[in-house]
């Protein structure tokens, strides 16, 4: 018998389970399946982007031993870069909007990142967290991960998420649904699945206030139709990770729909996730309704609910934001 080989956490990103979402599958007559990305070492789908960016930079020589990685992030990519980076000998500096859940900032510091909270500003403002990260990289000689426009992000999903879904569904997947933060998950995964079967539907689930629904539906980013409490998703521009992506459907998802799904999954199926996961699953339900019974629809369960307990699972905060955790999922979704 050959001697087994063992690895650290950086070799254990991906190969996450595909969970059947029982109630929504039964209500729609479709197989609605969630990729349990919260089981990654850093706790989210962004571990894949972090792994892809780091390994790509190592291969190109852009990331040298002992270097510092700097990134602007809503939290999860920073966590992934910190966990995977530390396992490979790098330090991390994370620039994060101060509007994000406090649990994320605390966790990043606990993990060993240097965290710099900044006021939330739009991308066009020089004070936007991404621009600050880019400037810090230039001033200090650090490696800027640049998750939004570094296509190693998209490539990581093409090489891992797409093939895993194809294998786990034995090629029966008919649609893939994802919201857009950087665009890497939706673009990379959809591109792989469509190469295997051009009939697979690529579907965007977009929160209110984001521009991707408008982009994929109307060909522009002009629609300004509200706001969302979702963190880590909701893009206002076409990033390099999104360039060239064609989607078949795009759905606008209200926060209440997503919240009702989050609570239904927790209370009835033991699945504890954040609002971005709820938006993704709501998009899968919309796709199920639009395409009819018999579909096999896969979406992303982005991260766990642990980082949102002060918000999503705080009754007082929900009341202040006019959200009802008791609203039945059947009533809210119309299924």
Q: Which residues are catalytically annotated? A: 46
Closest of 180, 182, 179 to residue 81, by C-alpha: 182
H and E: helices and strands count for the chain: 13, 10
The helix (run of H) or strand (run of E) holding residue 35 is strand 31-36
Q: How far apart are CA 33 and CA 173, in angstroms?
A: 10
Nearest CA among 327, 214, 277 for reference residue 45: 277
Phi, psi of 207 (to 5 degrees): -75, 160
- Give the CA distances from residue 55 to residues 10, 16, 43, 69, in Å, rounded to whole numbers and listed in that order: 10, 20, 19, 13
Which segments of the chain does DSSP mark as H helices, in order? 22-28, 46-60, 76-87, 102-111, 129-140, 152-159, 161-168, 184-196, 212-218, 255-269, 275-291, 315-320, 329-333
Per the listing, tokens 């070799």 go with: 11
Q: DSSP string of 105-147?
A: HHHHHHHT-EEEEE----TTSTTSHHHHHHHHHHHHTPEE--T
What whole-number distance in Å separates Cα of residue 57 and Cα of residue 64?
9
**Contact (CB, 8 A) for 231 and 100:** yes
18 three-state secondary structure: strand
Q: Are 173 and 203 in contact (CB under 8 A)?
A: no
CA distance 21 to 251: 20
């Amino acid at each position: 018998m050959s001697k087994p080989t063992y690895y650290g956490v950086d070799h254990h990103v991906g190969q996450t389970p595909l969970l059947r979402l029982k109630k929504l599958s039964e209500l729609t007559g479709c197989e609605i399946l969630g990729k349990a990305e919260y089981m990654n070492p850093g706790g989210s789908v962004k571990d894949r982007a972090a792994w892809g960016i780091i390994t790509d930079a190592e291969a190109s020589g852009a990331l040298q031993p002992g270097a510092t990685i700097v990134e602007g992030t809503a939290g999860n990519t920073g966590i992934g870069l910190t966990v995977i980076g530390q396992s490979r000998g790098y330090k991390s500096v994370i620039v994060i909007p101060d509007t994000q859940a406090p649990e994320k900032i605390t966790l990043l510091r606990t993990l060993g990142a240097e965290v710099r909270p900044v006021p939330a500003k739009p991308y066009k403002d020089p004070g936007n967290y991404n621009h600050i990260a880019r400037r810090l990289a230039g001033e200090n000689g650090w490696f800027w991960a640049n998750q939004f426009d570094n296509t190693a992000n998209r490539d990581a999903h093409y090489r891992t998420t797409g093939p895993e879904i194809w294998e786990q569904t034995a090629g029966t997947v008919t649609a893939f649904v994802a919201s857009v933060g950087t665009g890497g998950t939706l673009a990379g995964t959809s591109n792989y699945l469509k190469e295997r079967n051009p009939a697979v539907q690529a579907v965007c689930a977009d929160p209110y206030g984001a521009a991707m629904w408008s982009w994929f539906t109307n060909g522009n980013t002009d629609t300004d139709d509200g706001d969302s409490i979702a963190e880590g998703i909701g893009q206002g521009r076409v990033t390099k990770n999104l360039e060239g992506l064609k989607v078949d459907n795009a759905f606008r998802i209200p926060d209440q729909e997503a919240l009702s799904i989050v609570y239904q999954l927790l209370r009835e199926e033991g699945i504890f996730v954040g609002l971005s996961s709820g938006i993704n699953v709501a998009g899968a339900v919309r796709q199920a309704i639009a395409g009819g019974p018999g579909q096999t629809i896969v979406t992303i369960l982005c991260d766990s609910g642990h980082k949102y307990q002060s918000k999503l699972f705080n009754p007082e905060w929900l009341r202040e934001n006019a959200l009802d955790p008791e609203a039945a999922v059947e009533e809210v979704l119309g299924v």
